[in-house]
Amino acid sequence: AQTVTQSQPEMSVQEAETVTLSCTYDTSESDYYLFWYKQPPSRQMILVIRQEAYKQQNATENRFSVNFQKAAKSFSLKISDSQLGDAAMYFCAFTGNQFYFGTGTSLTVIP
């Protein structure tokens, strides 16, 4: 069975600091993509970053970067210089033959 696990239901970070959200997944597929989505209080789902499994280089989008460890099946999201607008639910997602979401991590940014 393919699963996506986010072991941190809640996280908090001081404004301007760095925080890392963890995600692990289980799959027997070799060709897949991983994503992080952000859902602010408005409940809109926003794609933050994507990573192709065949790429060794970690994806980066401005203040957001991932640490993709394929052998360990780990896909963590690092948010640098945290801003108040980063406060949201963050969902890790996997797409191969099927699409799976993690249970989410609620991030609070402390002013």
Residues 6+ apart with CB under 8 A from 17: 81, 82
- The residue (of 16 and 47) whose beta carbon lies closer to other proteins is 47
Residues in region 50-109 near other proteins by CB under 8 A: 50, 52, 91, 93, 95-97, 99, 101-104, 106
Residues in region 8-47 near other proteins by CB under 8 A: 31-33, 35, 37, 42-47
State in angstroms the smallest separation of the CB of 68 from other proteins. Answer: 15
C-alpha torsion 106→74→96→4, nearest 10 = -40
CA proximity to 52, closest of 85, 20, 29: 29
Binding site for other proteins (CB under 8 A): 31-33, 35, 37, 42-47, 50, 52, 91, 93, 95-97, 99, 101-104, 106
